[in-house]
């Protein structure tokens, strides 16, 4: 008899307990969906940031490579076949940049103007499709180094900038941006 009461008690305990209401289920599903989607959204944003950082590093690396090539060319020889300067040119519309050499015939003892028509491309690069050069704020179109110091020449497309310039990259959705700053002494920071 006592056993019968025990089973009856258990059965009545489960029978009297109410289940989840529809509202409780909807709220639970909504909260779970929100928690699951947060890492997914964060993951795609961080992918864009990594792509931006990689491309910013590539552009800065090529600017520093141009500086290194300039010093190497000067140390090697002063013959007419060796370029007098190297630099990097940024093309905002097509999101490309190239390493170029400037012929010895275009270099004068005092460099006061730049002739983009004399630039001879050495190597061309294309930014990742998720990154672009920002037109607003990007002041440096050409960055060129002339030995022996090396003298840094930053050209905005119409004039030489005496105080340095910036190259700004951003993700195509505009969510993140990175700035490469080149000062008049050739220091590159990003």
Q: What is the pTM of this model?
A: 0.72
Q: Give the model's pLDDT for residue 126.
A: 96
Q: Give the model's pLDDT for residue 112.
A: 59
Q: Are 150 and 91 in contact (CB under 8 A)?
A: no
Q: Give the model's pLDDT for residue 80.
A: 59
Kindly report, residue by residue over 80-124, the tens digit of the pLDDT: 567 778 999 999 889 999 999 887 766 655 555 667 778 888 999
Closest CA to 162 of 153, 171, 150, 151: 153
Whether the CA torsion 85, 89, 190, 59 is positive or negative: it is negative
Q: Whole-angstrom Cα distance, residue 34 to residue 94?
A: 39
- Which backbone phi and psi does 130 adopt, to 5 degrees? -90, 0
Write the CB contacts of 92 (distance below 8 Å, at least 6 apart in sequence). 132, 133, 134, 135, 138, 141
- DSSP one-letter code for 148: T
How many Å from the N-terminal Cα to the C-terminal Cα in the chain?
84
Q: Give the model's pLDDT for residue 98.
A: 95
Q: Three-class SS of residue 174?
A: coil
Positions in the chain short of pLDDT 70: 1-18, 41-44, 75-81, 105-114, 138
Q: Give the model's pLDDT for residue 124.
A: 95
Domains and CATH numbers, the chain: 22-189 (3.55.40.10)
């Amino acid at each position: 008899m006592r056993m019968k009461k025990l089973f009856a008690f258990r059965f009545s305990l489960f029978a009297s307990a109410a289940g989840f209401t529809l509202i409780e289920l909807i709220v639970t599903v909504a909260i779970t969906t929100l928690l699951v989607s947060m890492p997914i959204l964060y993951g795609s944003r961080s992918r864009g940031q990594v792509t931006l950082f990689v491309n910013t590093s590539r552009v800065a690396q090529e600017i520093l490579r141009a500086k290194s090539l300039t010093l190497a060319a000067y140390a090697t020889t002063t013959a007419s076949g060796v370029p007098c300067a190297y630099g990097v040119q940024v093309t905002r519309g097509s999101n490309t940049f190239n390493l170029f050499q400037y012929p010895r015939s275009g270099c004068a003892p005092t460099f006061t103007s730049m002739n983009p028509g004399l630039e001879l491309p050495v190597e061309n690069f294309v930014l990742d499709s998720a990154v672009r050069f920002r037109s607003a704020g990007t002041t440096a179109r050409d960055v060129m180094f002339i030995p022996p110091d090396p003298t840094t020449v930053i050209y905005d497309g119409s004039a030489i900038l005496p105080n340095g310039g910036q190259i700004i990259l951003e993700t195509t959705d505009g969510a993140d941006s990175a700035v490469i700053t080149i000062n008049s002494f050739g220091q590159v920071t990003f």
